[in-house]
Amino acid sequence: MPTVSMTVNGKPVTGEVDSRTLLVQFLRETLRMTGTHVGCDTSQCGCCVVHIDGDAVKSCTTLALSCEGAKVTTIEGLANGDQLHPMQEAFRENHGLQCGFCTPGMIMTAVELVGRKGHNLDEKTIREELEGNLCRCTGYHNIVKAIAAGAQAMGAKA
Amino acid sequence: MSVTGIGASVRRKEDVRFVTGKGRYTDDINRPGQAHAYFLRSPHAHATINNIDLSAALKMPGVVAVYTGDDIAADKVGGLICGWMIHSKDGSPMKAGAHPALAQGKVRYVGDHVAVVIADKLSQARDAAEKIVVDYGVLPAIVDPAMAVGADAKIHDAAPDNTVYNWHLGDKAATDAAFARAAHVTRLDLVNNRLSPNAMEPRAAVGDYDEGTDGLTLYTTSQNPHVARLVLSAFIGLAPEHKFRVIAPDVGGGFGSKIFIYAEETVCVWAARKVRRPVKWTSDRTEAFLSDAHGRDHVTHAELALDAYGKILGLRAHTTANLGAYLSTFSSSVPTYLYAPLLSGQYDIPAIYAEVDAVYTNTAPVDAYRGAGRPEATFVVERLVEIAARETGKDPAAFRRQNFVTSFPHQTPVIMCYDGGDYNASLTKALEIADYANIGKRKAEAASRGKLRGIGISAYIEACGIAPSAAVGSLGAGVGLWESAEVRVNPIGTVEILTGSHSHGQGHETTFAQLVSERLGVPIDNVAIIHGDTDKVQMGMGTYGSRSGAVGMSAIVKALDKIEAKAKKVAGHCLEASPDDIEFKDGKFTVKGTDKSIDFPSVALQAYIAHKFNGQELEPGLKESAFWDPTNFTFPAGVHICELEVDPQTGVTTIVKWTAVDDFGNLINPMIVEGQVHGGIAQGVGQALFEGAVYTKDGQLVTASFMDYQMPRADNLPSYNIAITKTPCPSNPLGIKGCGEAGAIAAPPAVINALTDALGHEDIAMPASPLAVWRAARKTMAMKKAAE
Amino acid sequence: MYAFNYHKPATVAEAATLAGKHADGKLLAGGMTLLPTMKQRLASPSDIIDLSKLGDLRGIEVKDGVVTIKALTRHVTVANSAEVKKAIPALAELAGMIGDPAVRNRGTIGGSVANNDPAADYPAACLALGATIHTNKRSIPADDFFVGLFETALGEGEIITSISFPVPDKANYQKFRNPASRYAIVGVFVAKKGADVSVAVTGAGDSGVFRQKDFEAALKSNFSAAALDGKSQSAAGLNSDIHADAEYRAHLIGVMAKRAVAAAK
């Protein structure tokens, strides 16, 4: 079986995979990092979003072997020890989650969004940028609020 | 109110694990030696299974076993059940067709379970499933409920004309008499569209067998693990309850779809014992579309009778309800007792009569989905009322007000006795927030931009907190609908609450802890909420129908009352006073009129070290349990107002403002309540504008992925304006009514009333997709042209 | 997903050799269409030739009135490119409308054009702008490139290396999204260059992207939305599905074309 090596949340990892192993399977099954979720099979729900070399991507639509040498960040790699990332804190503070299943993908999408579009995000921009993330619980109201607040907090911290 | 007590918007305790990826959902669980199950599903809507050839599949790499319905039958595994008996008008019991976990001789919908392959890896199981050769004899299929009776497709031998039951409720003669003297009758044909529930976490199950104890464990995505164990033990017969543990860990949304006991978890547990290995199955989204119980799917003709002054005299409705190919766990109750008793809405209607014909079709089973019956009833009532107002030239808000129930208790003609509410208060507040008075100006402004603007009201009521066990039993329920709680106070004063309710997004770990914090004066961080494990929690009925607060928390209150009484006795011994002289406040026991006191943790310690009292007079320890069975349903009610704009060029509908004013009684955590309302509205708007499960005539599901089934996205929805009114519920100690389903119940008629207001005619069905709205808007433009 | 052999060539030549050798193989660029198709077991390539190592196939160049975008340039790069925004703003806007942010971070122009999904966006831009598709073997005018549903003029072992777009005077792309999938139900790209006007329609035709010659003729004499009044697209040959029947698509083509003309810059 082929092996793949990459850096996940700052740690080098190597594992045996099938050619058809997806990045999300490598994370969940090989590395047993189950924070990244799978909510669909057509690349639409965004529960599986992680960062590859800083870009938000759908780990269910990426071959593990394509990630050779890549730097991958997952939801487990966002907090600094016990200190939540400002976007994580904003989701909690604004009740931007209920069942929590879409939340890792939402947060990873939001963090990258701030990187691309800055700290002052209006409601329209946030709603449009969430095109690839589905939530069934919150009706998005508080997710939008959380992302706006998280973006501000990331700016204040920087 | 303390900062963490009842009424405080406490930030959720469970969130830290969810935002850091440390939640533990069923698919996150892996057992040593685990094998994977893949289900071969029927590609046909209706077919006999003439032969299944497993030989090639069994030779595939990694395959552990392949099972079919024959194996299920040989092991005498019972069929899946429907736990609510409905009797037809003629007194005959509903016609329940057999529902084996793996098909036996026949498949009845696309996605029906033909065989299961168990292999070392999921990919191997799926590869092997493709090598199974099934000889099908394709039969005629029927998917349209309105055409099911008398169709060529004969789905179950037990139901020769595809009819499950012909049920009715209300006084037909009185209702007919009301219509006979009506000055005006409003008539309406409508379809309540079929929906796919789509919790973001797909269903999953891990079956685990312990040879040493002969014990079975099932990890599963369940809203009610105890009910799952009860059904899998007592009816399906997999193992007796004392050797069967069901664990529902973190569950990623349910909306009803995870109440039910499905074939997949049944097979995983059964197969785990057969192959002597843990067996795991996780649904992919396509399987979820095919086999999770769908919601709604009613075809209804309804009529409203008015007198010359606009007072409602009567309502009658005939509904055909599609229950799919098999009766799911609670399916029979949804279009009957969860539906017709709500047809009085918020209105004083002297006579109501409803007939419901439930039918089988070659589609996925249909069961409770957020609101379950109540959205269907509300859609009937609120569309009728709106159209009646328009037809008689009355303002829809004023027409509602004219007919509101204003004194309580109010006995409707259809079972329910409304115990309290103030419907005028919610309407007044909602009209104000929505700036209803100035809608004319906004319509004119929109028209100047070529847009059609409309406003729609929905005054909904629901019956929640289901319900007194004796009452539901008399209506056919196979179970009681109480809830249990156990309060364990540890010697250092920390508290564990064991509850039969189950949280899959509702935030019980926080709200239940707020109640304990308020009552016992302990910090919420010292309170643990334990749920979702039949080995830990004695018994429970689970979470659905907005019952966790009204019923589940009431059980906790009852147990806390016992804790307080016991603790007072302990405190009495410590303070050398009679328990009757002990007051308990803010976590402190005080002898009345003195400064002698002892705090709660010290009492807890004294209860366990038992040095201060005689163990024969007072039992050591501080642990109490309680079962709460309510005396009535609860009746949350409110008014939602939707304002929207249509682009007649493209048919695109944009919601510009949403107003929600709800009366949920007392609130434990307003932040969480608002979140529930938001989510409910999104699902209701989804039903109205976006979502529809569509089958072809021959029973193929067209909407089997998010590519074809439109889920509400962030950019489809507005932010919501939420407000509350408050009339405490008289039937439970906390005055709670429940909030989980309100938005999903209120929203569809609000949207469609707004849309028809914008269009100027009633000719639009749900989901009002751009295509449908474009067609309807063409009619509008033609009408406008003709009027010019 | 079915099992396959995986290759990660380091050069275009190596990739072409592999592609020639494995007739049932597939080139993997961003994978945003191919991988979902494989996951659903609707495709079963024997070999996957992953192009992600071919760094020299990334980049954008604007020279002599032509925007050249190398094949593995991601949608996000095109959408955010200051050069593209300046030269052909409609092309940058189109790239920003593809899929969702995560898809745009991964999907490539070469992959999109080579796949020729009938609901994809780039084919409309290629056709309307008169693009040239460059491969490791030759250069193909867009008008000859898109052959039919998921079919192109690409031969075996032929790999798109770049696509060049002549800069128009004015252009705009209007997309009406499928409400569920967000692919184009109708996408209309309008471009004006000198006296020439091109109108390309994606998402609607039953054999893929096509040019709306009646609209082009009307717009040549008068490049304004009003010029399309009274012009209509026939529903014949248009797709029908639960979200849009042929009649609705035909209507939307007119609406989107007018909006594109009005917004062209």
pLDDT digits (tens, 9 = 90+) for B157-166: 999 999 999 9
Select from C31, C36, C100 the Cβ nearest to the Cβ of A131.
Answer: C100
Q: Could you tell me if A20 and A9 are in contact, meaning their C-beta atoms sit under 8 angstroms apart? A: no
Report the 3 state secondary structure along B408-475. Answer: CCEECCCCCEECCCCHHHHHHHHHHHCCHHHHHHHHHHHHHCCCEEEEEEEEEECCECCCCHHHHHHC
pLDDT digits (tens, 9 = 90+) for B417-434: 999 999 999 999 999 999
Select from A2, A46, A63 the Cβ nearest to the Cβ of C102.
Answer: A46
Domain with CATH 1.10.150.120 in chain A: 86-157
Residue A156 predicted with pLDDT over 80: yes
Contact residues on chain B for A135, CB-CB shorter than 8 A: 200, 714
Residue whose C-alpha is closest to residue B321's, from B309, B331, B313, B308: B331
Q: Which residue of A has its CA nearest to C103?
A: A57
Q: Could you tell me if B184 and B500 are in contact, meaning their C-beta atoms sit under 8 angstroms apart? A: no
Tell whether B149 lies on the interface with A, counting CB pairs under 8 A: no
- Give the Cα separation of B713 and A45 in Å (integer): 10
Q: What is the mean pLDDT of residues B512-519?
A: 96
- Give the Cα separation of A27 and A47 in Å (integer): 13
Residue B720, beta-bridge partner list: B658
pLDDT digits (tens, 9 = 90+) for B678-704: 999 999 999 999 999 999 999 999 999
Q: Does B709 contact C180 at a Cβ distance shorter than 8 Å? A: yes
Domain boundaries, chain B: 31-139+201-252+258-291, 141-193+294-409, 419-461+633-788, 482-628
Cα distance between the two ends of chain B: 62
In the block, residue with structure tokens 């599903």: B41
Using 50, 70 and 90 to split pLDDT, how confident is the model at B788?
Answer: confident
Q: What is the mean pLDDT of residues A41-56?
A: 97
pLDDT digits (tens, 9 = 90+) for B556-594: 999 999 999 999 999 999 999 999 999 999 999 999 999
- For B58-108, give the DSSP string: HTSTTEEEEEEHHHHHHTTPPPP---B--B-TTSPBP------SS-SSEE-
Q: Could you tell me if B294 and B197 are in contact, meaning their C-beta atoms sit under 8 angstroms apart? A: yes
Q: Which residue of A has its CA nearest to C74?
A: A55
Select from B127, B703, B771 the Cβ nearest to the Cβ of C248.
Answer: B771
pLDDT digits (tens, 9 = 90+) for A83-140: 999 999 999 999 999 999 999 999 999 999 999 999 999 999 999 999 999 999 999 9
Residue whose C-alpha is closest to residue C127's, from C138, C113, C139, C117: C113
Helical (H) or strand (E) element with C170: strand C170-177
Residue C187, beta-bridge partner list: C175, C202
pLDDT digits (tens, 9 = 90+) for B118-173: 999 999 999 999 999 999 999 999 999 999 999 999 999 999 999 999 999 999 99
- Count Cβ atoms within 10 A of the Cβ of residue B9 and give its class: 0-12 exposed, 13-18 middle, 19 or more buried: middle
Q: Which residue of A has its CA nearest to B15?
A: A92
pLDDT digits (tens, 9 = 90+) for B173-224: 999 999 999 999 999 999 999 999 999 999 999 999 999 999 999 999 999 9
- Give the Cα separation of B526 and B729 in Å (integer): 29
Tell whether A58 lies on the interface with C, counting CB pairs under 8 A: yes
Residue C151, beta-bridge partner list: C148
Contact residues on chain A for B682, CB-CB shorter than 8 A: 138-140
Cα distance between the two ends of chain A: 43
- For B648-659, give the DSSP string: TTTTEEEEEEEE
- Give the Cα separation of A140 and A146 in Å (integer): 10
Omega cis (within 30) before B409: yes
Q: Which overall architecture, per CATH, does domain A86-157 show?
A: Orthogonal Bundle (1.10)
How far CA B563 is from CA of B151, B282, B540, B570, in Å, comes to 61, 42, 20, 10
* Nearest chain C CA: its distance from A50 CA (Å): 9
Select from B694, B706, B771 the Cβ nearest to the Cβ of C245.
Answer: B771
Contact residues on chain A for C52, CB-CB shorter than 8 A: 66
- Give the Cα separation of B34 and B165 in Å (integer): 43
Using 50, 70 and 90 to split pLDDT, how confident is the model at A158?
Answer: low
Residue C42, token pair as written in the block: 């609707």
Q: Which residue of B has its CA nearest to A140?
A: B714
Tell whether B678 lies on the interface with A, counting CB pairs under 8 A: yes
pLDDT digits (tens, 9 = 90+) for C217-256: 999 999 999 999 999 999 999 999 999 999 999 999 999 9
Same fold for the domain at B31-139+201-252+258-291 and the one at B482-628? Answer: no
How far CA A118 is from CA of A57, A126, B723, C102, in Å, comes to 19, 11, 32, 17
- Give the Cα separation of A36 and A39 in Å (integer): 10
Using 50, 70 and 90 to split pLDDT, how confident is the model at B479?
Answer: confident
Q: Does C5 contact A19 at a Cβ distance shorter than 8 Å? A: yes
Tell whether B717 lies on the interface with C, counting CB pairs under 8 A: no
Domain boundaries, chain C: 5-50, 58-265
Q: Which overall architecture, per CATH, does domain C5-50 show?
A: 2-Layer Sandwich (3.30)
Q: Does B123 contact C40 at a Cβ distance shorter than 8 Å? A: no
The whole-number pLDDT of residue B545 equals: 85
* Nearest chain C CA: its distance from A79 CA (Å): 22
Q: Could you tell me if B340 and B354 are in contact, meaning their C-beta atoms sit under 8 angstroms apart? A: yes
* Nearest chain B CA: its distance from A18 CA (Å): 10
Interface subset of C 142-181, CB within 8 angstroms of A: 181
Percent with pLDDT over 70 in chain C: 100
Same fold for the domain at C5-50 and the one at C58-265? Answer: no
Classify domain C58-265 at the CATH topology level: 3.30.465
Q: Does B19 contact A38 at a Cβ distance shorter than 8 Å? A: no
Q: CATH number for A3-77: choose from 3.40.50.300, 3.10.20.30, 3.40.50.1100, 3.40.50.150.
A: 3.10.20.30
Give the best residue of B10, B12, B14, B15 to mutate against chain A (max A CB count within 10 A).
B15
> CB-based contacts of B115: which residues, under 8 Å, 6+ apart?
B39, B40, B52, B54, B66, B67, B68, B102, B129, B132, B134
Residue B26, token pair as written in the block: 């069923």
Q: ipTM score of the complex? A: 0.98
Reduced to 3 states, what is the DSSP secondary structure of residue B285? helix
- Give the Cα separation of C265 and C246 in Å (integer): 30
Select from B22, B28, B200 the Cβ nearest to the Cβ of A99.
Answer: B200
As a dihedral over the C-alpha atoms of residue B229, residue B230, residue B232, residue B235, rounded to 10 degrees, the angle is 180
Query: Torsions phi, psi of C7, nearest 5?
Result: -130, 145
Tell whether C106 lies on the interface with A, counting CB pairs under 8 A: yes
Tell whether B441 lies on the interface with A, counting CB pairs under 8 A: no
* Nearest chain B CA: its distance from C245 CA (Å): 8
Contact residues on chain C for A66, CB-CB shorter than 8 A: 8, 28, 31, 50, 52
Q: Does A99 contact B683 at a Cβ distance shorter than 8 Å? A: no
In the block, residue with structure tokens 């009431």: B554
Q: How many CA atoms lie within 13 A of B236 on its CB side?
A: 31
Percent with pLDDT over 70 in chain B: 100
Chains in touch with A (3+ beta-carbon pairs under 8 Å) read B, C
Q: Does C242 contact B690 at a Cβ distance shorter than 8 Å? A: no
Select from B123, B286, B679 the Cβ nearest to the Cβ of A139.
Answer: B679
Residue B1 predicted with pLDDT over 60: no
Q: Could you tell me if B650 and C176 are in contact, meaning their C-beta atoms sit under 8 angstroms apart? A: yes
Select from B11, B253, B711 the Cβ nearest to the Cβ of A93.
Answer: B11
Chains in touch with C (3+ beta-carbon pairs under 8 Å) read A, B
Using 50, 70 and 90 to split pLDDT, how confident is the model at B726?
Answer: very high
How far CA B92 is from CA of A50, B79, B83, C84, in Å, comes to 57, 22, 16, 73
At CA C210, angle to CA C208 and CA C211, rounded to 5? 170
The alpha carbon of residue C195 and the mean position of all alpha carbons in its chain are separated, in whole angstroms, by 24
Q: Is B191 left (phi over 0), alpha (psi -120 to 50) or beta?
A: beta
Give the best residue of B38, B646, B771 to mutate against chain C (max C CB count within 10 A).
B771
What count of residues does chain C have? 265
Q: Could you tell me if C146 and C48 are in contact, meaning their C-beta atoms sit under 8 angstroms apart? A: no
Q: What is the mean pLDDT of each run of 10 residues along chain C (265 residues)?
A: 95 95 95 94 95 93 97 98 98 97 97 94 98 97 94 94 98 98 97 97 95 97 96 96 97 98 97
Domain with CATH 3.10.20.30 in chain A: 3-77
Q: Does A103 contact B201 at a Cβ distance shorter than 8 Å? A: no
Pairing status of strand B63-68 against strand B113-119 = antiparallel
Q: Does B720 contact A40 at a Cβ distance shorter than 8 Å? A: no
* Nearest chain B CA: its distance from A135 CA (Å): 7
Q: Which residue of B has its CA nearest to A130?
A: B714
Tell whether B201 lies on the interface with A, counting CB pairs under 8 A: yes
Report the 3 state secondary structure along B170-220. Answer: ECHHHHHHHHHCCCEEEEEEEEECCECCCCCCCCEEEEEEECCCCEEEEEE
Residue B650 predicted with pLDDT over 90: yes
Q: Which overall architecture, per CATH, does domain B31-139+201-252+258-291 show?
A: Alpha-Beta Complex (3.90)
Q: What is the largest CA-CA distance in chain B?
A: 93
* Nearest chain A CA: its distance from C95 CA (Å): 14
Q: Does A112 contact C101 at a Cβ distance shorter than 8 Å? A: yes
Residue whose C-alpha is closest to residue C5's, from C54, C51, C50: C50
Select from A36, A42, A136 the Cβ nearest to the Cβ of B21.
Answer: A36
Classify domain B482-628 at the CATH topology level: Aldehyde Oxidoreductase; domain 4 (3.30.365)
Q: Which residue of B has its CA nearest to C250?
A: B650
Counting one residue from chain A and one from chain B, the pairs whose CB atoms sit within 8 A come to 177
Q: Does B710 contact C179 at a Cβ distance shorter than 8 Å? A: yes
Cα distance between the two ends of chain C: 44
In the block, residue with structure tokens 């309060």: B487
Average predicted confidence (pLDDT) for chain B: 97
Chains in touch with B (3+ beta-carbon pairs under 8 Å) read A, C
Percent with pLDDT over 90 in chain B: 96
Amino acid at C199: V
> CB-based contacts of B565: which residues, under 8 Å, 6+ apart?
B579
- Give the Cα separation of C195 and C189 in Å (integer): 17
Q: Does A45 contact B251 at a Cβ distance shorter than 8 Å? A: no
Classify domain B141-193+294-409 at the CATH topology level: Aldehyde Oxidoreductase; domain 4 (3.30.365)
Q: CATH number for B419-461+633-788: choose from 3.30.365.10, 1.10.260.40, 3.20.10.10, 3.60.20.30.
A: 3.30.365.10
Report the 3 state secondary structure along B581-618. Answer: HEEEECCEEEECCCCCEEEHHHHHHHHHHCCCCCCCCC
Q: What is the mean pLDDT of residues B15-23?
A: 98
Q: Could you tell me if A140 and A127 are in contact, meaning their C-beta atoms sit under 8 angstroms apart? A: yes
The whole-number pLDDT of residue B752 equals: 98
Residue A73, token pair as written in the block: 């960040």
